[in-house]
Structure 1
Amino acid sequence: MSTPPAQRKPLPFIANFTAGAIAGISEILTFYPLDVVCTTRANVKTRLQLEKGKAQHGLVGTFKTIIKEEGVGRLYRGLVPPLLMEAPKRATKFAANDFWGKTYLQLTGGTKMTQSLSVLTGCTAGATESFVVVPFELVKIRLQDKSSTYAGPWDVVRQIVKAEGPLGLYAGMEATFWRHVWWNGGFFGSIYQVRALLPKAESKSGEMLHNFASGSVGGFIGTVINTPFDVVKSRIQNTRKVPGVTPKYNWTYPALVTVFREEGFAALYKGFVPKVLRLGPGGGVLLLVVEATLVIFRQALGPPYV
């Protein structure tokens, strides 16, 4: 016999953490063929964002240029860090969102999540997540630069630590912080709103469809909001520090103004197409797998969790 939803005991932190990890691995495995067929989102998206000036090759043009000039193998550079990053990244995202949601409800004395609280919770979860992903993102960006001469991920780590010390692996922390704050705020805030607008699901398949639809809309909106921050993050992390020289791209919001002033508004959305092709439906898969995994945990633990 199941416990009424309002009386169910919240699942432990480890359950949400594990569900997020499983969802992250599922999402990257599901969309890896899309990364290949639709031009490996990570490489092409980053190349577009690192490209300076108003003229750009676009998604297909960049794909063709990379293959022509550097070979097909170049499309797979930087793949290891995202694979290693996905499980802890997504695990942190959903576990942090659950933790901060409970915390804010306790602080406000509320018993039910609201639109404003869901956005705040998502933003805070994004801030938490950013601390986990920065070193992985830095390695990926350095490998994907056209002028990269690194032998591989560990060579990037070795050279950065040698030149800048361990804290050098956190270059671009501030920019990564804002990228994740706004994506997660848009993602989780949109999920709350879409779920409120959808009719009540009458079956398990209906619930699955609602989760996928909510997550997909959340992924799309989060991507629209955070792409400009992703553009400047890529440029900041690809900038090598020179003693006595202030980098052109140093802090997030001034960098946004610089890109807009020099290259126009469209430059802030370089790489948007491959990014949204991945993170739109990818957000749906994430939420679908997380919710399905949490149901399994509840059933395994039994009352009062189920």
Structure 2
Amino acid sequence: MGVKAFLEGGVASVVAGCSTHPLDLIKVRMQLQGQPEPPAAALRPAIVFLSSSTVAIPYQPTAARRPGPIAVGAQILRAEGTAALFSGISATVLRQTLYSTTRMGLYDILKTKWSSPSSAGEGSPAAVLPLHRKITAGLIAGAVGAAVGNPADVAMVRMQADGRLPAAERRNYRGVGDAIGQMVRREGVGSLWRGSALTVNRAMIVTASQLATYDQAKEAILGKGLLPDGLPTHAAASFAAGLVAAAASNPVDVVKTRVMNMKVEKEAPPPYAGALDCVMKTVRAEGPMALYKGFVPTVSRQGPFTVVLFITLEHVRSLLKDL
């Protein structure tokens, strides 16, 4: 039962992660909007002609309306090509294999254990697990999965963000193995767990809200006889789960993305001293709604991701039910 739960969750997670990877990349690029531009761009001179003399003055960026998800996607296609939408997909596969396989399998095991006949009382059938226990199972499973998968998460964020940097400053990782190897060599093993507290917090929020909402919504739909147990029920419950998970996790996700992506130069202080410092600097510079940057692509990605995840999971379960 234990191995089967991890296998089912792992297969469903990898399929869902790969199919929604471009939306995740757009979300990451939008979450990084508003950060200080690299020095090469910030110090670009502007040439002003005054009568017969020429004066060079520092470039002053003007406030502009930031592009939405469709514009960001089109920008990536124009500047970097179609393949750029799949930058970091090897890291996505590894992340889903480590993080999501762990959280999905562990959640299923805890849910089964806590809803067994013995926990419901002698002579009682296996009870429907109360919502608070589903949330607790999600919090535990998310924390463990995030701790296991953090190195792949850091590599994925960096690979997805690389294209926004000037060519001379790009990391140019060849794949997730190269990314992890370079991080260890240049920044130490500890860099693989940079932002891990944020990753764990986000994963606890996402897993608890996503998995608990899916189970609760599915039970409500079936219990009230609104739909039979099939594709429409799975799609409706998973869409509700994706929406709740996106709304709950977006602020933590923005901070996690920025902390993981920051460049730390030798003998120089890091751009952010930690998660709280990142929150304060982001809110001061860009306003509180900056914590909901990338929300539209987050919903656009989390909705399809969750739908594909649970529909695939239900299908894999039906295929493996006799094992």
SS at match of 1:206: coil
Corresponding residue number in structure 2 for 1:182: 205
- Alignment CA distance shift 1:159-1:104 (3 Å): same
1:150 aligns with one of 150, 158, 172: 172
Matches within 5 A, 1:157-306: 157-200=180-223, 206-242=229-265, 245-298=268-321, 300-301=322-323
Question: 1:90: Cα distance to partner?
Answer: 2.8
Kindly indicate whether the alpha-carbon contact (under 8 Å) linking 1:229 and 1:256 is maintained by their aligned counterparts in 2.
no
Corresponding residue number in structure 2 for 1:93: 103
Q: Which whole-Å CA distance do the structure 2 matches of 1:195 and 1:143 have between them?
A: 36
Measured against aligned partners, the alpha-carbon deviations of 1:262-281 in whole angstroms (never above 9, x if no partner) come to 21232112222222222213
- TM-score scaled to structure 2, two decimals? 0.77
Which sits farther off after the overlay, 208-217 or 147-156? 147-156
Kindly indicate whether the alpha-carbon contact (under 8 Å) linking 1:48 and 1:270 is maintained by their aligned counterparts in 2.
yes
Does 2:7 align with 1:18? Answer: yes
Does 2:79 align with 1:69? Answer: yes
- TM-score scaled to structure 1, two decimals? 0.80
Q: Which whole-Å CA distance do the structure 2 matches of 1:188 and 1:77 have between them?
A: 28
Q: Which whole-Å CA distance do the structure 1 matches of 2:204 and 2:179 have between them?
A: 26
Measured against aligned partners, the alpha-carbon deviations of 1:119-143 in whole angstroms (never above 9, x if no partner) come to 1111111111102321112112222
How many residues get paired? 281
Question: 1:203: Cα distance to partner?
Answer: 12
Kindly indicate whether the alpha-carbon contact (under 8 Å) linking 1:19 and 1:294 is maintained by their aligned counterparts in 2.
yes
Which sits farther off after the overlay, 239-248 or 229-238? 239-248
- Alignment CA distance shift 1:172-1:201 (3 Å): same
Structure 2, unmatched stretches of 5+, are 36-62, 121-125
Matches within 5 A, 1:98-113: 98-102=108-112, 109-110=119-120, 112=127, 113=129
1:130 aligns with one of 143, 146, 149: 146
Question: For residue 194 of structure 1, what is the amino acid of its counterpart?
Answer: A
Percent identity between matched residues is 23
- Alignment CA distance shift 1:130-1:151 (3 Å): closer
Q: Which whole-Å CA distance do the structure 2 matches of 1:14 and 1:204 have between them?
A: 31
